[in-house]
């Protein structure tokens, strides 16, 4: 947990520094947002290959053409994951009412591939909303992606071979060009998230 807390503190400091630096690298100023925190310059995402719960690959190319919210967790998570996904389910209902859900995707990426089988991941993710995508991958691919998106996680050993996973509660915002443009910091709130996404969808950077 200490590692995750340090990483979150580092992300907070980085966001503060970026906000002080201004947004001069964008051709058009970003919209005024209530809860989303945008980076002045988008962060590149390395090539990756994960496996979706339906067995199909999930790659960086799948993040092109719309905004994607990426949340990394695991299905045995007792609190952060179900709470966050429930919030995103309410947010998704708002996006549907606003008529912009086709411009947004939600990807839940499990950092517990040993227990999160495709069937379990599909059942878990689709319970929140059938439109949400569940995926996982090899430890190496998950570690690479978590570092790139600044969404750290760590396996915590328990008794009798059991374990839990400490992970970030931050939601990464991937832009239509498959770069990370910002984050939703915890705790998430459905209605302002949907309002911010509506502004982002209308934005022409």
User: Which mean pLDDT values do the consecutive 10-residue runs of the chain (205 residues) have?
Assistant: 50 45 57 95 97 97 98 96 98 98 98 96 97 97 98 93 94 98 97 98 86
| Residue 10 pLDDT | 52
| Residue 18 pLDDT | 43
| Residue 11 pLDDT | 54
| Residue 17 pLDDT | 42
Would you list the DSSP string of the chain? -HHHHHHHHHHHHHHHHHHHH-STTSSSPPPP-SSEEEEEEEEP----EEEETTS-EEEGGGGBSSEEEEEEE-TT-SSHHHHHHHHHHHHHHHHHHHT-GGGEEEEEEES-TTT--HHHHHHHHHHH-TTSEEEE--HHHHHHHHHHHT--EEEEE-GGG-EEEEE---EEEE-TBSSEEEEEPSSP-HHHHHHHHHHHHH---
Count of positions (residues) in the chain: 205
Domains of the chain: 2-202 (3.40.30.10)
What's the predicted TM-score (pTM) here? 0.87
| Residue 4 pLDDT | 60
| Residue 190 pLDDT | 98
| Residue 20 pLDDT | 35
Tokens describing residue 36 = 């989303």
| Residue 150 pLDDT | 97
For the beta sheet containing 171-174, the strands, ordered from the edge strand earlier in sequence to the opposite edge, are 36-43, 180-184, 171-174, 67-73, 104-110, 133-136, 49-52, 57-59
């Amino acid at each position: 947990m200490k590692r995750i807390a340090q990483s979150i503190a580092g992300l907070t400091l980085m966001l503060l520094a970026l906000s002080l630096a201004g947004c001069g690298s964008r051709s058009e100023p970003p919209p005024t947002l209530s809860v989303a925190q945008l980076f002045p310059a988008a962060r590149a995402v390395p090539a990756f290959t994960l496996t979706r719960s339906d067995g199909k690959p999930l790659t960086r190319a799948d993040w092109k053409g719309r905004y994607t919210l990426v949340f990394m967790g695991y299905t045995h998570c007792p609190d952060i994951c179900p709470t966050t996904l429930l919030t995103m389910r309410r947010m998704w209902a708002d996006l549907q009412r606003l008529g912009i859900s086709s411009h947004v995707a939600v990807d839940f990426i499990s950092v517990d591939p040993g227990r999160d089988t495709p069937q379990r991941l599909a059942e878990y993710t689709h319970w929140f909303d059938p439109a949400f995508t569940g995926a996982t991958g090899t430890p190496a691919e998950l570690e690479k992606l978590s570092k790139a998106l600044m969404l750290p996680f760590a396996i915590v050993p328990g008794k009798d071979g059991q374990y839990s996973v400490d992970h970030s509660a931050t939601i990464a915002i991937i832009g239509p060009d498959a770069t990370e443009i910002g984050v939703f910091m915890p705790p998430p709130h459905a209605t302002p998230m949907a309002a911010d996404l509506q502004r982002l969808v209308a934005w022409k950077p």
